[in-house]
């Protein structure tokens, strides 16, 4: 297993900024559904407000991919906005975009992770603060030590 850090960025500009800011870390632009990593390559994976861009019906595929790249006893942390809405935007900060996001339910995410073979260790709900409009959810899980 590599000790190199890994981050999946979604836009070339974020990738360029990340490479300049942290030149000793590895950054890649790609899809979370097909991570360019060997099996069991990571000891931990953080998906902070990124699973919201995966259609609900593809979450089992996503969580299977996360399980594939995590080493036995590897840790997973997910963060997301809570809700049942599917939202679509065509503009963000004055730039044309085609952006979908899917709010999540913590218990549903935890169940899907369990179905994918993870041991869920915590499910946390945080109420909105400041200008936020929705609660936020966090789910912590680990790949079993004796995972096949």
Instruction: Identify the structural domains of the chain with CATH numbers, from first to last.
Output: 45-142 (3.40.50.150)
The pTM (predicted TM-score) of the whole model is 0.85
9 pLDDT tier (thresholds 50, 70, 90): very low
The per-residue pLDDT for 148 is: 52
pLDDT at 12: 61
Q: What is the mean pLDDT of residues 23-32?
A: 84
- Taking alpha carbons only, the member of 100, 105, 97 closest to residue 78 is 105
Q: Per residue in 58-87, pLDDT tens?
A: 999 999 999 999 999 999 999 999 999 999
Judge whether residue 23 has pLDDT over 60: yes
Phi, psi of 88 (to 5 degrees): -140, 135
Considering only CA atoms, which of 78, 76, 74 is closest in space to residue 125? 78
pLDDT tops 90 at residue 19? no
Check residue 5 and give its pLDDT. Answer: 43
């Amino acid at each position: 297993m590599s000790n190199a850090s890994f981050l999946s960025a979604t836009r070339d500009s974020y990738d360029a900024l990340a490479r300049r800011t942290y030149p000793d870390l590895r950054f890649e632009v790609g899809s979370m559904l097909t991570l360019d990593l060997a099996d069991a390559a990571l000891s931990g994976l953080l998906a902070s407000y990124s699973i919201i861009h995966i259609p609900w019906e593809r979450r089992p595929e996503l969580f299977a991919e996360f399980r594939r790249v995590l080493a036995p006893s590897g840790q997973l942390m997910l963060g997301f906005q809570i809700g049942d809405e599917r939202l679509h935007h065509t503009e963000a900060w004055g730039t044309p975009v085609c952006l979908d996001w899917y709010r999540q339910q913590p218990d549903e995410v935890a169940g899907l992770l369990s179905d994918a073979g993870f041991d869920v260790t915590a499910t946390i709900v945080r109420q909105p603060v400041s200008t936020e409009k929705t609660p936020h959810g966090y789910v912590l899980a680990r790949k079993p030590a004796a995972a096949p």
